[in-house]
Chains A and B, each alone.
Chain A
Amino acid sequence: MELSVDLGRNLKLKNPVLLASGTCGYGLEFENFYPLSKIGGICTKGLSYKPIEGNPTPRIVETSCGMINSIGLQNIGAKAFVEEKLPLLAKKDTKIIVNIFGYSLEEYIKVVEFLSEYQEIDGFEVNISCPNVKKGGIQFGTNPKLTKTLVSKLRKTTEKHLMIKLSPNVTDITEFAKVCEGEGADSISLINTLLGMAVNIETKKFSIKRKMGGFSGPAIKPVALRMVYQCVKAVKIPVIGIGGISNYKDALEFLLIGAKAIQIGTANFFNPSCGKEIVEGISNFLQNKGIENINQWIGSIEDE
């Protein structure tokens, strides 16, 4: 059974299953549940050049079929990552895609420049879509001109694989997909969380401190599937599907409509073994269907 997929620019995954940034820490915690070698790769917790403390609490709330978070990109910073986490992570037989962000164009460039020196890093996922910070992040992902400038600058900064993570909180996501492709991005990943809100009628308070946060989980899958499909149609670079994927059937749906790989997000929280289970489930499904290579399945939906 051939499960490997090629995302371009030397980023070939042994299988199309990645763990989504923000749901897998720096990856090592998952070794409690299965060897990371089982999955295609991980997208680390978003890194900025300097450490960030994140938002005040409460930061999370559960809603029907989903959750809202407002963590605020808390992270240990790029230097601590390469000193404390990367050496351990590099020993694992899986691809390391480092998710990065900045509060300004210069900060995005600085972190990519710094991390590009490290051979152990297989690629970058650029977060231009986090709804949980006051500045930076999403402002680059909701303004096509800023997206264009950012991707163009980052392309000149690194030779490594450049995956741009898009926001669903826009009118037409394909516009952003095309801009990324035009400026030399190697792939795009979508969707990041939807901007959401929850309130408590007993306490008459907002459920999370910053009122609004990123909505994720099984509830967002139909929105994600639609947007991934639209982007697959709009660009030629690989599209990585994210949004409400909790089991192998969900993953196969995204691959069927043309996603070249998928990322598991919220499901990592309630079923940390999900990464391994999805790889096994995809493999068994394809075997039962008599399909020897996953690339025969990718994009094979009857589309008339």
Chain B
Amino acid sequence: MKQGKLFLKNKKTYFDYAILTFLTEVEDFLNVKPGNFFMLQANTLLKKPISVMDCNKRDKMLKFLVKKIGKGTEFLYNLNPGETIDAIGPSGNSFPIDETGEYILVGGGSGIPPLYFLSKQIEKSRHTVVYGGRTKKDIVPIFGKSAPTIITTENGELGIKGTVIDGIKKVIEKNNFKKPIILSCGPEGMVKAIKKNFPDIPHYTSLERYMACGFGVCLGCVVETNEGYKRVCVDGPVFNINELKELK
């Protein structure tokens, strides 16, 4: 983990979302795994934790997806190519994956970035993405044909009408997975619903929390687990769902 600069090379917006492509000279910034995040300068006192959406070492490129929600994310959304921001990272653990796994990657709204990154790291034949949102405005067109994807919207504007639960059912029906594993990131309501509907499927989720530092010292982002409080920033953000007391 290091502190350094990110130079905004390119920006694409989609309704309230912006895909920010940065270049960096900080080599340690490019040692990133899916699940990792950076603390990004955001015109607020504290930096904001934002998950990595993609990384390309050769091009020294780091990509983030931000949704305009508060003052900090609005600043990031409004950045223009050519601007430079301060960053700290990469921080956190990553999703547990191995070569034999059968994975269902479930992303809700702005929770999709780490799953996009993850989908690029594992073979296409072994996973399917379920990407859910309220309306089509929440489904950023990032996947193209890069991964098998099922889209769900609550109003039916795109993909299956329903929630990610409907999407997951579809994946299970279609793929004949023997021992599927769910890897998720999104609103806590969504994560709880997945746990409730598929209690027997192993499930790892990436949590989002307010953080003051993002590197383990403030203890502001802790989550209650079976082993007491753990720091989301360095012990997480990815946890086995059975470990989390708050989601029981």
Interface residue ranges, B against A (CB under 8 Å): 1-3, 44-47, 86, 88, 209-213, 215-224, 228-229
Q: How far is the CA of A33 from the CA of B28 in the complex (A)?
A: 12
Number of A-B residue pairs, CB cutoff 8 Å, is: 79
A23/B47 contact (C-beta < 8 A), A33-B2, A57-B222, A60-B210 known: no
Interface residue ranges, A against B (CB under 8 Å): 22-25, 29, 32-33, 45, 53-54, 56-62, 65-67, 69, 71, 74, 217-218, 266, 268-273
Are B217 and A60 in contact (CB-based, < 8 A)? no
Residues of B contacting A271 in the complex (Cβ-Cβ under 8 angstroms): 3, 86
Are A272 and B213 in contact (CB-based, < 8 A)? yes
Closest approach, in angstroms, between the C-beta of B91 and any C-beta of chain A?
10
A32/B217 contact (C-beta < 8 A), A57-B223, A69-B212, A74-B222 known: no
Closest approach, in angstroms, between the C-beta of A14 and any C-beta of chain B?
22
Q: How far is the CA of A53 from the CA of B1 in the complex (A)?
A: 26
Are B217 and A23 in contact (CB-based, < 8 A)? yes
Are A272 and B220 in contact (CB-based, < 8 A)? no
Give the contacting residue for B218; candidates A23, A53, A57, A217; CB below 8 A: A23
Are B218 and A272 in contact (CB-based, < 8 A)? no
A67/B229 contact (C-beta < 8 A), A29-B216, A54-B219 known: no
Residues of A contacting B211 in the complex (Cβ-Cβ under 8 angstroms): 60
Residue of A nearest to B232 (CB): A57
Consensus secondary structure, chain A interface: loop
Give the contacting residue for B216; candidates A25, A218, A273; CB below 8 A: A25
A65/B210 contact (C-beta < 8 A), A24-B217, A59-B220 known: no
A29/B217 contact (C-beta < 8 A), A57-B224, A69-B212, A269-B212 known: yes
Are A71 and B216 in contact (CB-based, < 8 A)? no
Are A60 and B45 in contact (CB-based, < 8 A)? no
Are A60 and B212 in contact (CB-based, < 8 A)? yes
A71/B218 contact (C-beta < 8 A), A218-B45, A270-B46 known: yes
Residues of B contacting A61 in the complex (Cβ-Cβ under 8 angstroms): 210
Residue of B nearest to A218 (CB): B45
Are B213 and A269 in contact (CB-based, < 8 A)? yes
Are A53 and B228 in contact (CB-based, < 8 A)? yes
Are A272 and B229 in contact (CB-based, < 8 A)? no
Q: How far is the CA of A183 from the CA of B221 in the complex (A)?
A: 39
Residues of A contacting B47 in the complex (Cβ-Cβ under 8 angstroms): 270
Are A67 and B1 in contact (CB-based, < 8 A)? no
Closest approach, in angstroms, between the C-beta of B235 and any C-beta of chain A?
13
A69/B2 contact (C-beta < 8 A), A62-B45, A269-B213 known: no
Are B210 and A54 in contact (CB-based, < 8 A)? no
Q: How far is the CA of A268 from the CA of B201 in the complex (A)?
A: 41
